[in-house]
A = this chain, B = another copy of it.
Amino acid sequence: MKKLLISTLVLLLTGWSSATAGNEDGSRLWLRFEAANATKAISGVKGTAMSELQTYWKGGPVVLKHQKGMAQDAYTIQSQGSKITISAANNAGLLYGAYHLLRLQQMGEDTSALNISEQPAYDLRILNHWDNPNGTVERGFAGKSIFLNPDPERMKIYARANASIGINGTVLNNVNAKPEALTTESLQKAKGIADQLRPYGIRVYLSINFASPIKVGGLKTADPLDADVVAWWKDKVNEIYKLIPDFGGFLVKANSEGEPGPQDFGRTHADGANMLAGVLKPHKGIVMWRAFVYNPQSSDRANQAYEEFMPLDGQFADNVIIQIKNGPIDFQPREPYSPLFTALKKTPMMVEFQITQEYLGAANHLVFLATMWREFFASVKPESLKAMAGVANIGDDVNWCGHHFAQSNWYAFGRLAWNPSLTSEQIADEWLRQTFTSDEQFLKPMTQVMLESREAAVNYMMPLGIHHIFAGGHHYGPEPWYNPPRIRPDWTPPYYHKADSIGLGFDRTTNGSANVNQYPDELCAKLNDINTCPENLIAWFHHVPWDFRMKCGRTFWEELCHKYDTGVKQTRQFLVAWDGVQPYVDCQRFSEVQRKLRIQTRDAEWWRDACLLYFQTFSKRPIPQDVEHPVHNLDEMQKFRIPITMYENPVQGYTK
Interface residues of A (CB under 8 A from B): 572, 575-576, 579-580, 582, 595, 598, 601-602, 622-623, 625, 627-633, 652, 655-656
Contacts and interface: CB of A to CB of B under 8 A. Distances in A.
A83 B582 CA distance: 75
Given A631-B601, A633-B598, A656-B655, A622 B572 contact: no
A576 B656 contact: no
Contacts of A602: 631-632
A576 B623 CA distance: 9
A19 B456 CA distance: 53
A576 B629 contact: yes
B625 A575 contact: no
Contacts of A656: 652, 655
B630 A598 contact: yes
Contact of A631 (B575, B623, B629): B575
A623 B579 CA distance: 8
A576 B598 CA distance: 24
Nearest to A603: B631
4 shortest A-B CB distances, which residue pairs?
A: A575-B629, A601-B631, A598-B631, A655-B656
Given A572-B629, A598-B631, A630-B598, A622 B579 contact: yes
A627 B656 CA distance: 27
Interface centre among A580, A601, A629, A655 (most CB of B within 10 A): A629
Contact of A572 (B575, B576, B579, B628): B628
A628 B580 CA distance: 12
A580 B629 CA distance: 10
A632 B598 contact: yes
Contacts of A598: 630-633
Nearest to A583: B622
Nearest to A576: B629
A137 B638 CA distance: 34
Contacts of A576: 625, 627-629
A631 B655 CA distance: 13
A629 B628 CA distance: 17
Contacts of A622: 579-580, 582
B655 A580 contact: no
A364 to B, nearest CB: 13
A656 B572 CA distance: 20
A455 to B, nearest CB: 20
Nearest to A630: B598
A87 to B, nearest CB: 48
Contacts of A629: 572, 575-576, 579
A576 B561 CA distance: 13
Nearest to A626: B576
Nearest to A580: B625
A638 B601 CA distance: 20
26 contacts: A572-B628, A572-B629, A572-B631, A575-B628, A575-B629, A575-B630, A576-B625, A576-B627, A576-B628, A579-B622, A579-B623, A579-B629, A580-B622, A580-B625, A582-B622, A595-B633, A598-B630, A598-B631, A598-B632, A598-B633, A601-B631, A602-B631, A602-B632, A652-B656, A655-B655, A655-B656
